[in-house]
Structure 1
Amino acid sequence: MDVTVRYFAGARAAAGRSEEAASADRSLDELVGELAQRHGPRMAAVLQVASFLVDGVTCHDRRAPLPAGATIDVLPPFAGG
């Protein structure tokens, strides 16, 4: 089973889409590396400063395996208030 990766703001612009599926058999760190390779240097820069939610909860252990069927939100820093 896959995970769903949802992109917001600058991450959506860098990916050219609002969401996509990715394999669940990896950690968040591994997924981030795959996404950077898949989408190029602009995405890699966004991912370096982004926060990540796994099923709506901040991810504190980026080396833990992602649960199958999870939703991963990629949240770059937002401006404004």
Structure 2
Amino acid sequence: MPTVRYFAGARAAAGGVSSEPAEAASLDELIQLLTDRHGERLGLVLKSASFLVDSLRCHDRQAPLPTDATIDVLPPFAGG
């Protein structure tokens, strides 16, 4: 089962959860699952977040997720 790890504002929007299991076939499905689980605040963060699947940036939100993937949720960061 995939593991989702939250960083920065995504962690705050998920109620302080740093990681959790979440079974989904694609990032689109995962986004809906996590929004249903944690609420619209996280849903808004997920709409603009970047995703790493097993440390590789994933641009195709409909691509199949590997069964035991680690998915990092990276919200937009400010500063520089």
TM-score normalised by L of structure 2: 0.93
Deviation at 1:19, TM superposition (A): 0.5
Distance 2:60 2:42 in 1: 21
Aligned to 1:20: 20
Give, as a single letter, the amino acid of the residue that structure 2 aligns with 1:58: R
Tell me, which stretches of 5 or more residues in structure 2 are unaligned? Answer: none
Note the C-alpha offset of 1:76: 0.3
Instruction: Work out the number of aligned pairs and report it.
Output: 79
Once the two structures are overlaid, the 10-residue window that deviates more, 60-69 or 3-12, is: 60-69
1:41 is aligned to: 40
Moved over 2 A (4+): none
Where do 5+ consecutive residues of structure 1 fail to align? none
Report the residue type matching 2:48 in the other structure: V
**Structure (1/2) with the larger strand percentage:** 1
Q: Deviations over 1:4-30 (max 9, x none)?
A: 100000100011210000114x11111
Root-mean-square deviation (CA, aligned residues, Å) is 0.9
CA displacement 1:35-69 (0-9 Å, x = unmatched): 01111011011011100010010102211110011
d(CA) in 2 for partners of 1:27, 1:20? 16
Separation in 2, partners of 1:9, 1:58: 17
Identity of aligned residues (%): 70
